Structure 1
Amino acid sequence: MNKPPDMEAACYHCGLPVPGNTHFHASILGERRRMCCHGCQAVAESIVENGLESYYQHRTELPQTADELVPEELRQLELYDHPEVQKSFVHDESGDVLEASLILEGITCAACIWLNERHLQQLDGVVSASINYSSHRARVRWDDRKIRLSHILTEIRKLGYHAHPFSAQQQEAVREQQRRQDFRRLAIAGLSAAQVMMVAVAFYAGPAQGLEPATEQLLRWFSLVMTLPAMIYSAWPFYQSAWRSITHRSVGMDVPISLGLVTGFIGSVWVTFQGQGIVYYDTLTMLIFFLLATRYLERHAREKSVEAAENLHRLIPPMATRLDEQQQASIVPLHDLRVGDTLLIKPGEAIAGDGVVTQGESQVDEALLTGESHPVPKQPGAYVYAGSVNYESPLQVKITGLGEQTVIAGIARLLDRAQAEKPRLARVADQVAIYFTTVLLLAVIVIGLAWWWIASERCFEIILAVLVVSCPCALSLAAPAAFAAAGSHLVGRGVLLTRGHALESLARVTHVVFDKTGTLTMGHPRITNTMTYQGADASEMLRIAASLEQASEHPLARSFTDAVPATERYVVLEANNQPGRGLSGEVLGKRYFIGNMALNSQLVYPEIAGLEPGASIVWLSDAQQVLAAFVLADTMRPGVTALIDQLKARKIAVSILSGDTASSVQHFAAIAGIGDWQAGLTPEGKLTALRDMQQRGDVVAMVGDGINDAPVLAGAQVSFAMGNGTQMARASGDIVLLGESLQEIEHALATGRFTVSVVRQNFTWALVYNAVALPFAATGLIAPWMAAIGMSVSSLIVILNALRLR
C-alpha cells in the first residue's frame, strides 16, 4: 500500500515528481503543499473549497488515473452542469440566466431557510434564491457565465445541508425517509421519557416514603443512562440547527432550546457525580419528547398544506407510449421524449407533455390544472396539457413542450415564487422572533445571576424553565402555517397565488376593477341568435354552416365549429374560400354560401333590427335565396351578475376600464349591474385611471387578461389574471384564475380576509402566551416539565388554528 509522498519530493495531489522550476502550492489540512502543475493546484483547491478535504485524510493510496484525481462526491456534483442533465429540472429564462428547482434536505426551522437564502444570495452570479419552508423546495436563478450549478450545490453542502434536483417521486422518497427518521427519534425520546418518569416518581415520593441515600443515588445513575439516548440521538437535530445559527452569527429558535437541554443535563450530571441535589432528567426527556412530537405534527400539517401544489408534479407520468413513423407504438421513459414526438394517449392515461391533438376525439380531465370539475372536449387541433387525463377514446398528440417548458411547470414556478416570497406579516414575525430570542438569552443571564444570589440550588431549574417556556416556536409558525394552508386551499379551487403579498393585499381591497373583453366576457364571439328563412330548420342550417366553416381559418369560424361536434358535420366538396367575403362548398350535392353580403351579392338580404353593440351577422344561402342569418357576439361569462352583487354586498366598489367602444362597454355594464365604467382607454389611460382611484385612497384589485392589461395589472395593489389570457398578463398578475369562473374572485377576497384574521389570532396567542409564561417561569412558579408542555401546546394551537383555512 502506497502512502502520499513527501511534499518536497512529489506532488501532494497526484504523486508525480514536481519539476524544479515550478512554484505551485495549495493549502491542505492546515499545511502548504507543493503541486506539480496548475491543474493539480486547481483541483486541490476546489476539493478544499467544497468541504471535501477529508479525501486526503482517508485515501489509502495515490490515484492511478486522471479520473481518480477528483473525489467521486465532487464529480457527481459536476454532472449537474451538463446541459442534457439539466433539461429535466432547469428552466432557461433568458440567455444565460437559468433557474433550477431543487430539494433541500436538513431544513428544520425558519432559521435554516434564512441562512441558506442569505448565503446563496451573496454568491457572485446568483440572481435570486428563494426556499419554500412548507415544501423545502428551492428556486435558484443564476448567471451561467459567472457561476455553475455544481458550485451552488457545494455551497449549500458547506452549510451542512444537501440539495439535489427536484422530482416529485424523489421528494416523496426524501419525505418518507425523513418521516421514518423523525418517528425513530420520537419513539426513542418517548421510551426514555417513560423510563425516567417512572424513576422520577420515586424521587418525588422519596422523602415521604423513606428513600435511602444509596437507593436514591442508584436511581440517579439509572436515570442518567436512560436519558443518554434522548439527549444524544433524539435531540441531535436541535444541536445541529443551533450550531449552524451560532457559526453564522444568527439566533435561531433552537439556540435557547439547545442551551436549556445542555445546561440542564450538565447540572444533572454534576449532581449525579456529587451524590446529592435535584436532577432534571425527567424534564429533559419530556422536553425532547414534546418538542419532537410538536414538530412531527407540524411537519405533517405543513405537508398537508402543500399537498394540492405537490399534486401538480405527481400528475406527470414517468412513462409514455410513443409512435414512430410507421405508427408502431413503444413505451419509453419520460426523459427520452423530445419535442415533435407523437404520443398515443389511451383512455385513463395521463398526458406526458403539452401538445396538439393530431388524431382522435375525446374528453380530457383538466381539473387539477384549472379547478374546473367537468371534462373538456378535445378534437384535432385542440391543445392538451401535461398532467391532464384522457377519458373516453384514444388520442394522438404531437408534443410541443416537455419538462420545465410545460404549462404545469409554469404553474409550479409561479406557485413556488408565491410561497417563497414572504408576506409582510411573516417577515415581521421572523424579525420579532429573532429579537425576542436575543432578549430572552440576555434575560436568562440576568435571571440566572439573580437566582444564583437568591437561591443557588434553584438556579438550574429556573434557567431551564425560562429557556423552554419562552421559545418563540409559536410566533415563528403563526404566519407561515396560515399562509401555506390558505394557498393550498385556493390552489385546489383553481386560484393560483403567484406573489407572496397577495393574500394580505386581498384582505384590504376596497375597489375591484374589471377589463371587459376576455374578462367579464368570454373574449370570442358566439352564436347568440339564429334566424331562418324560407321555412328552413335552424338546427340543420347550423349543421351545414359548421360543416362549411371547418374549412375556414377566419376567427369567426370557431364560433360554428364549437357549436357542432365534428362527428355531426357533413363532408364538404369543392370548398372555395374568398378572403374578405366568406366561402362556398358543396354539401349533400348542393352548393351553399356562408359569409357576408358581398359573397352572394345578387341576393336580396332582409333587414335585421335591434342588434346589440359589436354584434356581427353571418349569412347562409344557396344559389337562389337566403336561408339563415347567424348573429355572433361576445357573451358575458357565467356568474358575473352574482359576483357583482356579492362584491356590492361587501361594500366593495366595482368599475370597468376597457379599450372597447363606449356602446359595447355600456351594454355589458348594464347587464352586469356596474354603474362606473370608462371606454376607449389605451394601456396608459387605464393606468392613469387606476392611479386616480389609488390617490382617492382605494385599495384596488384589477382583473384582466390581455397584453394591454399588463401595465395596469402590475400597477394595482393586487391583481387577477385570467388563466386563458396572455403570458404577459399572467406574469404581471399576483393571482391567476386557472378556471373560467369569476366567482372565485369573491372567494379569494373572503379567504384573504379570513387568513389575515387567523394570522392575527396566532400572533395574539403567541405573544400573550410568552408575555404571561415568562414572568411565571422567572419567578419559579412554573416547573421545567410544565414549561415543556406549555410550549408544545402553544405551538399546536397555532398549527390547528391555521388548518381551519384548509
Structure 2
Amino acid sequence: MTVMHVPEQLSCFHCGLPVPPGSDYTAVIDGKRQPMCCPGCQAVAQTIVDGGLDNFYRHRDQSNVTPLAASAAEAATAELTLYDSKSVQDGFVRFVADDHAEATLVIEGITCAACVWLLEHHLSNHAGVQQFSVNLSNHRARLVWNPQACKLSTLFAEIGRIGYQAHPFHPNTEEVLLEQEKKRAIRRLGIAGLGMMQVMMMAIALYAGALQDMEERFVEFIRWSSLVITTPVVLYAAQPFFIAAVRDIRSRHLSMDVPVSIAIGGAYLASIWATLTNSGEVYYDSVTMFTFFLLIGRYVEMQARHRTGRAGNALMDLLPTSAMLLSADGHEKLIPATELKMGDRVLVRPGHTIPADGVIVDGRSAINESALTGEYLPVTKSVDDAVVGGTINVEHPIQVCITEVGANTRISAIVGLLDRAHAEKPMTARVADRVARYFVMAVLLTSVTVATGWYLVSPEDAFWVTLSVLVVTCPCALSLATPTALTAATGTLRQQGLLITRGHVLEGLASATHVIFDKTGTLTEGNLSIRKMVPIRSTTSLTPYNIAAALEQSSEHPIARAFHPHFTRAADDVKVEVSAGVEGSVQGERYRIGKPEYAAALSGQPLPQQPDQNLQWLLLADTQGAVAWFALDDQIRRDARTTVATLKHLGLQVGMLTGDDSSSAQRVADELGIDAVKQGVSPDEKLAFISQLQEQGASVVMVGDGINDIPVLAGARTSIAMGSATDLAKTSADAVLIASELERLAIALLVARKTRMVIRENLSWALLYNLVALPLAALGFIAPYMAAVGMSASSLIVVGNAMRLSRPPRIRRKSQE
C-alpha cells in the first residue's frame, strides 16, 4: 500500500490565511523569503520592509496573526504602535528628561515650502509637541515632544492623516528611500521628455499646416496622435502634481501644485474636447512642455536634497559595524555594535575604531580624535579617561566600559547639531514661505475673477481666456530668473576650481560681511613637517635626520611621518613609550627621540635649553647627551597670506576659528594678518560663535576641512570645504575648493556680486512681462498659444542675460598685494 504525501498547507506570513496552491507571491523579510497569499499582502509587507519597520514582524505575537490582519489599515496601526516600544525607540530617540525627548524623522511626500509650513503648523499645535521643524533641503524633521503627554505613534498618525509619511531616520533605510525616489523621478522625467519631443514635432507640423491650409484629415490625425502621446505624460509623469494638489485641497492649504495641476489638467481636458469635437485649439505641446520643465526643476532640487541627506548618513558610518565584547570571565565574542548596551565591556585593539562612548577601564594608548577635534595629533588616554565612539585607537589594546549607545552618543549629538543647523531657516526662506501661500491664492482668485467676468460677457470664450491667464501667470520666466543665473555662475566657478553644491551659495557670497577660516588643513597644509633642525653635537656618519628617521620608521604616528622622507636605514630593538617617544639602536648606539625630558633621561645629562619657546620641539639624544633639536610645525598654505589680503581689500572682515589651543594658532594668525582669533573651541562652541555673529546681522562664510567643522559648516549661511577635506566635510559644505587654492575665494566673491546684479535684472524683466501680459490676457487680447510663445520668448531673454556670467572676472594684481 502506497501512502501519498500531502504537502503541508502554507500560511501567509502577513495575514495568516492559507496560501492558495500555485501562488508565488513572496516578500523578503529579515533576509528570508516568506510566502504571501495575495498581491495585497505582498504590497503591505513590502511597504513595511521598505519603511524600515521590520520590527513589526519580530515583535508581534504570533497568536495575533489572523485573517483580520490582512486589513492594511489595521496593519498600519500595528506598525505605528511599535514606535511606542522603548526597544524600538532606542535606535532613533534621545531622551533628555522624562518630559523631553528628541527624534529625527524622514518625511515622504514633501514637494515645496508650503508642505513644510503645513507640517510644522499642524504638528506644532498638537498637545505634547514642544517643537517640530522640517528641513526642506533634505526632508528631515526634528521632533521634540513630551512622551508623558502624547505617544509617538499618535504623532506619526497625525503626519499620515494630512497626507505625508514619516519614518525614523536611519542611514541605511534612508539610502533605500532616496534611491527609490530617484528611480521614480528618472522614469517620470524620461516619459515626459520623450512625450514632449514627439508632441512638439507634431505641433510644428500643425502650426505649419495652418499657414498652408493642411487637409482636415491630416489635422485630425495629428491631434489624435498628440492625444495618445500626451496621455501617459499627464497620467504618469505629472501624477505627483495632481496627488499633491488633492492633498493640499483636502488639508485646506494651497501650494504651487494647485495652479500647476489646474493648468496642466485644464489644458489637457480642453485639448481632448477640441479633439473630440474637431473645434478650437489643442495645447498638447504646452501640456508636455510644462510637465517636462517642472519635473526637471524638481529633479535638480531632489539631487541637491539627496546630497545633503547623505552627509549625516556618512557621519554615522564612522561607527564600526561590530565590537569585541568581553564576558565576565574574559572570553571574547564578536557582536554587532548595535547590540551593545550600557555597562558592556569591549576590547579595542590598535587600529580599530571605538564602537560607542565609554570609559577606559584597562590599558593606556593614544587615541586619534581627529574625527571630533580636527587636530592631527593623537591624545593619550588611560584608565578612567572618557573615549568617544568613532575615534581610533592608535597604539595599544584597551578595554572600554560602554556608557552611551544609540542616539545618546557624541557622534549622534553632532548629527543632531547638523540637523538643527539645517532646520534654522534664514530670513529669505521664511519670507519665501509666506509669499508662496499668498501668490497661489492671488493666481487662483485672478483666474476665478476672469472666468466669471468672461462667462457673463461671452460664455464661449470664458474657458480659453481663463486658460490664457493660467498660462501667463505660470511664472516660468520668474522662476528661471534666479536658477539660470546661478547655473551659469556655478559653471564658471567650477571651471575656476570652486564646486558649488547648493543654490544659495552665490547669494550668500554676494552679501558676505565675514569670512571665518578654520586653521588646521585650511589656512595650513594639515600635515606636520620639520620646520627647523638645530644640531647640538655630531655623533656618527649619519645625520640627525637619518638617525631620527631610523627610529621613527616603524611608527604611523603623525610625528613619525614627518621624518619618513629622510629614511635610509632601520633601527634595531625599537621600543615605543606611549606619549613620550621612541628608543632604539642605530649603528650600535642607543638613541631616543621624543619629549625633551624623555630623551635626556637616556644619558642622565641636564636638559639643554630649547631654542624657541613658541615652537613644538623634539629632542634627539644618545647615551652621551643631547644630539639635536627638531622643530615640527604645520606649514601655512602658500596663497593664504595673499587671500587674506585680497578679502580685506574687498571689504570683508576675516577671522580664524580653531580647536587648536597651542601657541601656533596665534602665530599663524599674526603671520597672515588676521586680527579676530578664537582658539581651543569645540564643535558646539564653533556653531554657537557663528550663530551669535549671524544674530548680530553678519553674513558669514565659513571655510573648513574637518569632521569637527560639519556643524558649523551647516550653521553658517555659506560654507566652503577645502578640496583636501574629509568626504563628510565636503558633503556638508555648500561649496568645495577642488584644488584647495584659497585665492579662488576672491574670484567667487566677484562672480557672486555680478550674479546678484544679473538676477535683479532678470527679475525686473520677468515682473514687467507678467504685469503687461496678465491684463492683456484677462482682456482677451492674448490667446493661449500666444501666451505660450510670449512665455518662451521671455524665458529666452532671461537665459540670454544669464549667459553673461560665463566669463570669469579678473582680479587686478593690485588687489592681491
Do they fold alike, i.e. is TM over 0.5?
A: yes
CA–CA separation in structure 2 for the residues paired with 1:100 and 1:201: 57
CA–CA separation in structure 2 for the residues paired with 1:425 and 1:112: 17
For residue 354 of structure 1, report the CA deviation from its aligned partner.
Answer: 7.9
Residue 720 (structure 1) aligned with residue 702 (structure 2): yes
2:181 aligned partner, one-letter code: R
* Partner residue, 1:643: 643
CA contact (8 A) 2:84 2:153 kept: yes
For residue 715 of structure 1, report the CA deviation from its aligned partner.
Answer: 2.7
CA–CA separation in structure 2 for the residues paired with 1:244 and 1:329: 55
Q: SS at the partner of 1:252? A: coil
**Any idea what the Cα deviations from partners look like across 1:333-387, whole Å, max 9, x if unmatched?**
78567897679999xxx9997899999xxxx9x9xx99x9xxx999999999979
> What TM-score do the two structures reach when normalised by structure 1?
0.62
For residue 470 of structure 1, report the CA deviation from its aligned partner.
Answer: 0.7
For residue 604 of structure 1, report the CA deviation from its aligned partner.
Answer: 6.6
Residue identity (%): 29
For residue 250 of structure 1, report the CA deviation from its aligned partner.
Answer: 3.2
Q: For 1:656-675, what aligned pairs fall within 5 Å after superposition?
A: 668=668, 671-672=671-672, 674=673
Q: SS at the partner of 2:445? A: helix
Q: Equivalent of 1:80, from 71, 74, 83?
A: 83
Q: Equivalent of 2:160, from 151, 157, 160?
A: 157
The change in CA–CA distance for 1:297 and 1:379 in structure 2 (over 3 A counts) is same
CA contact (8 A) 1:542 1:560 kept: no
For residue 429 of structure 1, report the CA deviation from its aligned partner.
Answer: 3.7
CA contact (8 A) 1:469 1:777 kept: yes
* Partner residue, 1:767: 767
* Partner residue, 1:700: none
CA contact (8 A) 2:590 2:623 kept: no
The change in CA–CA distance for 1:792 and 1:77 in structure 2 (over 3 A counts) is farther
CA contact (8 A) 1:658 1:678 kept: no
CA–CA separation in structure 1 for the residues paired with 2:313 and 2:487: 19
CA–CA separation in structure 2 for the residues paired with 1:605 and 1:219: 96
CA–CA separation in structure 1 for the residues paired with 2:337 and 2:661: 49
CA–CA separation in structure 1 for the residues paired with 2:797 and 2:154: 41
* Partner residue, 2:36: none
Residue 595 (structure 1) aligned with residue 596 (structure 2): yes
CA contact (8 A) 2:80 2:156 kept: yes
For residue 175 of structure 1, report the CA deviation from its aligned partner.
Answer: 0.9
The change in CA–CA distance for 1:377 and 1:74 in structure 2 (over 3 A counts) is same
Q: For 1:259-278, what aligned pairs fall within 5 Å after superposition?
A: 259-260=262-263, 278=279
CA contact (8 A) 2:325 2:334 kept: no
* Partner residue, 1:33: none
CA–CA separation in structure 2 for the residues paired with 1:233 and 1:296: 12
* Partner residue, 2:614: 614
Q: For 1:411-560, what aligned pairs fall within 5 Å after superposition?
A: 416-417=419-420, 419-452=422-455, 455-472=458-475, 475=478, 504-512=507-515, 528-536=531-539, 537-543=543-549, 560=559
CA contact (8 A) 2:591 2:623 kept: yes
The change in CA–CA distance for 1:68 and 1:649 in structure 2 (over 3 A counts) is same
CA–CA separation in structure 1 for the residues paired with 2:780 and 2:81: 56
Q: Equivalent of 1:120, from 118, 123, 136?
A: 123
2:512 aligned partner, one-letter code: V
CA–CA separation in structure 1 for the residues paired with 2:214 and 2:483: 50
* Partner residue, 1:297: 296
Q: SS at the partner of 1:129? A: strand
The change in CA–CA distance for 1:63 and 1:792 in structure 2 (over 3 A counts) is farther
For residue 462 of structure 1, report the CA deviation from its aligned partner.
Answer: 0.9
Q: SS at the partner of 1:531? A: strand
1:175 aligned partner, one-letter code: E
Q: SS at the partner of 1:71? A: helix
* Partner residue, 1:21: none
For residue 522 of structure 1, report the CA deviation from its aligned partner.
Answer: 8.6
For residue 294 of structure 1, report the CA deviation from its aligned partner.
Answer: 1.6
CA contact (8 A) 1:595 1:618 kept: yes
CA–CA separation in structure 2 for the residues paired with 1:160 and 1:764: 37
For residue 421 of structure 1, report the CA deviation from its aligned partner.
Answer: 4.1
CA RMSD for the aligned pairs? 6.6
CA contact (8 A) 1:705 1:721 kept: no
The change in CA–CA distance for 1:591 and 1:412 in structure 2 (over 3 A counts) is closer
Which ranges in structure 1 are unaligned for 5 or more consecutive residues?
1-61, 389-394, 551-556, 687-702
Q: For 1:693-732, what aligned pairs fall within 5 Å after superposition?
A: 712-716=689-693, 717=698, 718=700, 720=702, 723=706
CA–CA separation in structure 1 for the residues paired with 2:635 and 2:205: 77
CA contact (8 A) 1:97 1:141 kept: yes
For residue 434 of structure 1, report the CA deviation from its aligned partner.
Answer: 3.2
Residue 182 (structure 1) aligned with residue 182 (structure 2): no
CA contact (8 A) 1:322 1:329 kept: no
* Partner residue, 2:258: 255
For residue 126 of structure 1, report the CA deviation from its aligned partner.
Answer: 3.1
1:451 aligned partner, one-letter code: W
CA–CA separation in structure 2 for the residues paired with 1:261 and 1:591: 82
The change in CA–CA distance for 1:156 and 1:203 in structure 2 (over 3 A counts) is farther
**Any idea what the Cα deviations from partners look like across 1:702-734, whole Å, max 9, x if unmatched?**
x97688767643332226385365999789766
Deviates more, 1:450-459 or 1:480-489: 480-489
Figure out how many residues of one structure are paired with residues of the other and give that number. Answer: 679
CA contact (8 A) 1:189 1:289 kept: yes
CA–CA separation in structure 2 for the residues paired with 1:221 and 1:708: 66
* Partner residue, 1:145: 148
CA–CA separation in structure 1 for the residues paired with 2:661 and 2:348: 45
Q: Equivalent of 1:245, from 235, 240, 248?
A: 248
CA–CA separation in structure 2 for the residues paired with 1:145 and 1:786: 61
Q: Equivalent of 1:106, from 102, 109, 115?
A: 109
CA–CA separation in structure 2 for the residues paired with 1:652 and 1:591: 51
The change in CA–CA distance for 1:735 and 1:712 in structure 2 (over 3 A counts) is same
2:472 aligned partner, one-letter code: V
For residue 539 of structure 1, report the CA deviation from its aligned partner.
Answer: 1.9
CA contact (8 A) 1:526 1:635 kept: yes
For residue 465 of structure 1, report the CA deviation from its aligned partner.
Answer: 0.9
CA contact (8 A) 1:245 1:252 kept: yes
CA contact (8 A) 1:126 1:142 kept: yes
* Partner residue, 2:177: 171
For residue 298 of structure 1, report the CA deviation from its aligned partner.
Answer: 1.7
CA–CA separation in structure 1 for the residues paired with 2:717 and 2:779: 49
1:614 aligned partner, one-letter code: N
2:647 aligned partner, one-letter code: L
Which ranges in structure 2 are unaligned for 5 or more consecutive residues?
1-63, 726-736, 807-817
The change in CA–CA distance for 1:84 and 1:719 in structure 2 (over 3 A counts) is farther
The change in CA–CA distance for 1:678 and 1:422 in structure 2 (over 3 A counts) is closer
CA–CA separation in structure 1 for the residues paired with 2:661 and 2:220: 92
Report the structure number with the largest CA radius of gyration: 1
CA–CA separation in structure 1 for the residues paired with 2:572 and 2:98: 49
Q: SS at the partner of 1:459? A: helix
Q: For 1:617-636, what aligned pairs fall within 5 Å after superposition?
A: 619-631=619-631, 636=636
CA contact (8 A) 2:254 2:440 kept: yes
CA contact (8 A) 1:344 1:396 kept: yes
CA–CA separation in structure 1 for the residues paired with 2:433 and 2:578: 69
For residue 484 of structure 1, report the CA deviation from its aligned partner.
Answer: 11
2:124 aligned partner, one-letter code: Q
For residue 533 of structure 1, report the CA deviation from its aligned partner.
Answer: 2.9
> What TM-score do the two structures reach when normalised by structure 2?
0.62
**Any idea what the Cα deviations from partners look like across 1:429-465, whole Å, max 9, x if unmatched?**
4444433333333332443344345544322111101
Q: SS at the partner of 2:512? A: coil
